[in-house]
Amino acid sequence: MNRFRGPQLSPDQGGSGGGAAADFETEIRGATFAGHPTGLFALFFAEMWERFSYYGMRALLIFYMTKGFLQFDDDMAYGIYGAYTALVYMTPFFGGMIADRYLGPRIAVVLGGVLMAAGHLLMGIENSLAFYTALALLIAGNGFFKPNISTMVGSLYPAKSPKRDGGFTIFYIGINLGAAMSPLLCGYIGETEGWHWGFGLATIGMLVGLATFVMPTLLSQGLILIAAAAATYGLIYYRPDNAFTSAANYVMAVALAFGAISAVIALSKGGLPSSMGLPPKGANVPKALGITLVGTLVSIVVFTLLVSGLSMFNNGVPVSVVPDSYIKSLGADDQTAVNKVLSVLLGEISKPAGLVLSITGILALGYLGWEMTRMGKIARERMQVVLILTFFSFLFWAFFEQAGSSLNNFTDRNVDRVTETRTVAQEEVGQSIRLQPTQEQLGFSRGPWTLTRETFDALKKDENLEDEKDIALLWVVTAEQVGRTMKVREDKPAEGATARKLVDRTLAEGDIGQTIRFVPTEDWIGQTSGGAMFTLTHLTVLREVFSEPAFEIDWNVQPDNVGMGVAEQKSEIPASFFQAINPGFIMILGLVFTTLWTILANLRLEPSTPIKFSLGLIQLGLGFYCFYMGAAAATERGMVAIPYLVFGYLFQTTGELCLSPVGLSMVTKLAPKVLVSTVMGSWFLATALSQYLAGIISKFTAVGHGGEGEKLIPVPSETVNVYGGVYYQIAIAAMIAGGICLLLSPVLSYWMHKDAETDDDGGSARGH
């Protein structure tokens, strides 16, 4: 049973060797619990909390970029997200090699954990440079942490131990428990209490995981119990007031409590063997660590530049090798669909991260092609299978990874996540009512409203006007306000500054009807804002500025408000919550699929690897077709029912369970022994490229955030068909790719030469 959280380094088949000596042992190291090494349960919780931190941050990242202080439009946010995730999946290969040859897994895990904790902590600072540096720290830290903790799990078992697969099953339950729990806590708290609280919780999760790994066994036991108790409390008390979400939180709380109690009992018999994960014999650790730290610092600078696209040197706009004017002309409204697609591809590939990844990919493919010309027939045909299935895997993950980007925004903007208590009646038109603003108000007109003393006093107050953490409101300027002065932020920092200063702006006639974000002062009490269409931007700003979570606003009912839902804020499910669906389904269905494949194998009916790949792609396509059907069946306001989203994620998960576990196993079985590490590296590179392509694909769902004045996220009716159209095309593309893979499966199965002898020294592989 291999990885269940996307394309990550296989723990038992490549990358970092770290504990290679364990492959020749005949007995399990140290004490056991339920037939497994007790050290497994320490690694279980270390990895669970690391995944909690990673997926907690991932659940918030797109929202933070588009709705937080950065105020990026979709196109910019998706580009950064694609570069970040591509580099995250690229670094474990190098982190594994460094640990294997110089540091050992134990030191590498600690180094990675510290870097990632620093990255999560830095995310809470509202500064562009801090944001990009935080992403770079997470990229570097993941490279050290992810492959090496998995390697340590493998080193707990003899290579031929029948308990080995079961141990990895337990380990992956920990991965998915952390991935499922994080949106319920980090996502919920980040969206309702403030972004920095969500990132802060992710930081705590990473520190808990790291401490569990390095502390003496007795202290680890206490920490596991305390952290599990705190998380259980959070799951029970910090949740939307909704039966569906309450059930999910309670299930996670029970699973966490059971895991914590089991781990404490196991660790009472012994912890991680002190000899496990040590540096290789003869390694000069102080020297290697010093060089590694210097190299890591350099890589953090490089990753900062790559993920930002050098935008800090280009007025906040990513640098592109191809002139922007040409890219824009290629994607103009009067151009063909093909040219528009080319403009997006060219625009992303010509950015720093895109150039590095593309050139590396071309060189890797060229090198493998050259090596194939030197191979014998069997080895060459096996390599053809590897390359073809790598391509299909590349497509799968490029489509699948919409989950963290465009699907997150689709859920936030177009999925109906609120249970209303009543609807606005016809007789209320023209009246002013008090309501708690929720997603139910999106797409409806809000009439003029007055800044009262009560409202002003209910707002948070800026404690430090030098930072960019504004307590600001969105205001529609009226004719009567021309000549008045507002407190606003500069459009961009002054030369040499990192933050935008608060300045005075005198309103002119050209501002009439414009929406302006301003910091309210006492002299604006009693002034009336013009009416406007209520958008997600308005809702986000209101939630950021009021002191009390369950605040109310005055709403002047307009004719188009009839039928508008009115609800309590606590009944709204945060969009990030739905990021827990996929890992939740994996926890439920992972063992089911493992059992299914075992039964079919015993009956000699198990599908071949190419057929599993095709099934994965077809089911992925069905998942996106569910999203499309939801968009097609949306209400007039552009809202989609939750079941379409849930069933879409269900099909994506079953597709993942068909394709994901067999990929790396296929590489290690088919690649010539003398090239297995190179081919493995190419597999990871393809995975990184798929993440970047995912960011490019998500750009086709991008919508502008308004023209002049304040950037406003469009209302649901303007975005639903954009998402639906792209998801329909992805569905068709995925199913066609799956069909092609299915048609090729007889040829691919033949080229695998399952019954042929393998020449470990590579002689026959090269035709010598």
Provide mean pLDDT across the span 289-296.
Answer: 94
Band (765; pLDDT cuts 50, 70, 90): very low
Pairing of strands 502-506, 36-37: unpaired
pLDDT score recorded for residue 171: 87
Return the closest-CA partner of residue 182 out of 204, 210, 213.
Answer: 204
CA distance 325 to 318: 14
Q: Tell me, what amino acid is at 274?
A: S
Contact 80, 72 (CB under 8 A): yes
CA distance 275 to 29: 10
Contact 398, 687 (CB under 8 A): no
CA distance 461 to 208: 33
pLDDT score recorded for residue 22: 41
Q: Which residues contact 311 (CB under 8 A, 6 or more apart)?
A: 317, 318, 319
pLDDT at 13 over 50: no
| Chain Cα centroid distance, residue 642 | 20
Contact 487, 521 (CB under 8 A): yes
pLDDT score recorded for residue 349: 87
Domains and CATH numbers, the chain: 36-309 (1.20.1250.20), 371-417+574-768 (1.20.1250.20), 422-571 (no CATH)
At residue 567's C-alpha, the angle toward residues 566 and 571, to 5°, is 160
Pairing of strands 449-450, 528-529: antiparallel
Contact 580, 249 (CB under 8 A): no
pLDDT digits (tens, 9 = 90+) for 602-613: 899 989 999 999
DSSP H/E element including 322: none
CA distance 255 to 261: 10
Contact 737, 352 (CB under 8 A): no
- In the chain, the percentage of residues whose pLDDT exceeds 90 is 55
Provide mean pLDDT across the span 284-294.
Answer: 91
pLDDT at 659 over 80: yes
How much is the mean pLDDT over the chain? 87
Ranking 467-471, 577-581, 679-683 by mean pLDDT, the lowest is 467-471
Q: Which residues contact 436 (CB under 8 A, 6 or more apart)?
A: 550, 551, 552, 553, 567, 568, 569
Alpha helix locations (H) across 68-163?
74-98, 105-123, 128-155
Ranking 80-84, 189-193, 281-285, 540-544 by mean pLDDT, the lowest is 281-285
Model pTM score: 0.89
CA distance 128 to 134: 10
pLDDT digits (tens, 9 = 90+) for 686-719: 999 999 999 999 999 988 765 556 788 999 999 9
pLDDT digits (tens, 9 = 90+) for 461-495: 665 555 555 678 999 999 999 999 998 887 776 66
DSSP H/E element including 527: none
Provide mean pLDDT across the span 344-364.
Answer: 88
| Chain Cα centroid distance, residue 446 | 34
At residue 610's C-alpha, the angle toward residues 88 and 625, to 5°, is 70
Q: How many helices (H) and strands (E) does the chain have?
A: 23, 14
Provide mean pLDDT across the span 266-272.
Answer: 86
Band (56; pLDDT cuts 50, 70, 90): very high
Q: Tell me, what amino acid is at 754?
A: K
pLDDT digits (tens, 9 = 90+) for 391-435: 999 999 999 999 999 999 999 999 999 988 899 999 999 999 999
